[in-house]
Amino acid sequence: MFEITPTEWTAIELSLRVAAVATLVATPLGVALAWLLARRDFWGKSLLDALLHLPLVLPPVVTGYLLLLTFGRRGLVGGWLADYLGIVFAFRWTGAALACGVMAFPLLVRPIRLSIEAVDQRLEQAAETLGAAPWRVFATVTLPLALPGVLAGMVLGFAKALGEFGATITFVSNIPGQTQTISSAIYSLIQTPDGDAAALRLVVVSVVMAVAALIGAEWFARRAVLRLHGN
Amino acid sequence: MLRVDVTKQLGEFTLAASFASEGRVTGLFGASGAGKTSLINMIAGLLRPDRGTIAIDGEMLDDTAKAVHVPAWRRRIGYVFQDARLFPHLDVAENLDYGRRMNRLGDDSEQRRRVAELLDIGHLLDRRPGKLSGGERQRVALGRALLSKPRLLLLDEPLGSLDEGRRAEILPYLVRLRDEARIPMVYVSHDPAELRQLATQIVMLHRGRVTAFGGVKVMTG
């Protein structure tokens, strides 16, 4: 009953790879955006903020379809990327990573933004008077102090990416070994007559990974408080 | 030589200050709300004047007419804030070393030793700021500013957040600093007694305007 079969392992391994790649690519972007939203005022800021949160409130199937229209083989961006850079998203694991990254992005950015906002700007001023150029202020003061928030965001984003289903299956379908993540594997299994046991095994795996991620995020958040108080 | 001639509108408050100072320690004296902090924030480059000029030793740091504004990080002006502002994620040694790293200065162990001795902070080096007393924190902040080798040192009520006993503890260090460090200072305070001990020249500020300038005697007038 608790023996995990090779097909299930493939789905677990693919999910981990997709979530890891999505998180690693999304993090630098997320940090940049979080900093922009936390520290700068500019025209269209609330629009950007709304756009960022869109994947959280749109039906995932809509996000997936929009991705298909944009990044599909004949999509505006997808066609260009395929022709000039040889990067194909449609029906590949890379597409699953893209879909998961987009869906996880709001969850990843939020803790980072909050932790950057919590960094005392007077410390940044002090750094400036000590000769630190703006990017070095960011690298030596803002980012280290916000680091626990960045890690919390990464953990949350990773957990979300791990469980993403709607946008992924819409964008890249459900091909075993190619785009079949844990979620889509469970979905297939519960529609197969004898799939219950296998589905249950994957459910247990998902629950364990999600709980671990939440505990991890909480732990990083508590570290952030300690760090800001200088102990 | 520090020359300041600026105006700045801050909400309802107008700051219009003009003075030139050659003294070793220029005391910026005035009640709270007189605009002292805004004025030295402008000297530091953290605040931009609406109009006017700021120059040190003939080098223009701000000249609004020519759109000159040297950013704070290029001014080489040290700043000791009332609330120390040590970096909580760095220990004392790393805090002290920060300005040297940012200005890409060579390692100067002799100066490091001298400053640590002058301020009596040698035994604190591996501690985090969270584990320091208020007086210790302020001494480290002073050392951190000094070790960035500034050409001018701004001190904004460095004793303001300390109680009576702690003030008496720090004041002698400041006197030694004035006599030994050979860095011109601008010292902000609302306490005439403090300035009498430290300042060689006084700029008196009242509601955003310079109302008197001269020796420490102007504070009695």
pLDDT band at residue A163, thresholds of 50, 70 and 90? Answer: confident
Residues 6+ apart with CB under 8 A from A189: A195, A196, A198, A199, A202
CATH at A70: 1.10.3720.10
Q: Closest partner residue to A130 among B46, B83, B102, by Cβ?
A: B102
Does this model's pTM top 0.90? My answer is no
Domain residue ranges in chain B: 2-88+152-219
CB contact under 8 A, B98 and A134: no
- Choose from A115, A121, A130 for mutation: most chain B CBs within 10 A: A130
* A122 vs B: CB within 8 A: yes
Q: What is the mean pLDDT of chain A?
A: 90
The domain of A152 spans 6-228
**pLDDT tens digits along A33-47:** 999 999 999 999 999
Contacts of A141 in chain B (CB under 8 A): 87
pLDDT at A221 > cutoff 80: no
Secondary structure letter of residue A89 according to DSSP: -
CATH top-level class of B2-88+152-219: alpha beta
pLDDT of residue A78: 87
Q: What is the mean pLDDT of chain B?
A: 91
* A176 vs B: CB within 8 A: no
Q: Following CA atoms A179, A180, A182, A184 in sequence, which dihedral angle do they give, to the nearest 10 degrees?
A: 110
pLDDT at A228 > cutoff 70: no
Reduced to 3 states, what is the DSSP secondary structure of residue B16? strand
Tokens of A128: 């400036």
Query: What sign does the dihedral A175-A176-A177-A180 (CA atoms) show?
Result: positive
pLDDT band at residue B135, thresholds of 50, 70 and 90? Answer: confident
Residue A166 included in any domain: yes
Within 10 Å of residue A231's Cβ, how many Cβ atoms? Answer: 11
pLDDT at A230 > cutoff 60: no
Q: Closest partner residue to B77 among A120, A122, A129, by Cβ?
A: A129
Residue A159 included in any domain: yes
Q: From CA A11, how far away is CA A8, in angstroms rounded?
A: 5
CB contact under 8 A, B73 and A134: yes
pLDDT band at residue B221, thresholds of 50, 70 and 90? Answer: low
Q: Closest partner residue to B81 among A126, A140, A144, by Cβ?
A: A126
**Helix (H) or strand (E) segment spanning residue A128:** helix A121-129
pLDDT of residue A229: 61
Residue A98 included in any domain: yes
> What is the ipTM, given to two decimal places?
0.92
pLDDT at A109 > cutoff 90: yes
CB B8 within 8 A of CB B27: no
Query: In chain A, which ranges are E strands?
Result: none
CB A109 within 8 A of CB A116: no
How many domains is chain A built from?
A: 1
**pLDDT tens digits along B59-115:** 999 999 999 999 999 999 999 999 999 999 999 999 999 999 999 999 889 989 988
pLDDT at B169 > cutoff 60: yes
CB contact under 8 A, A125 and B85: yes
Percent of chain B whose pLDDT exceeds 70? 100
Residue A1 included in any domain: no
CB contact under 8 A, B83 and A136: no
Contacts of B131 in chain A (CB under 8 A): 230-231
pLDDT of residue B10: 92
Q: From CA B142, how far away is CA B190, in angstroms rounded?
A: 19
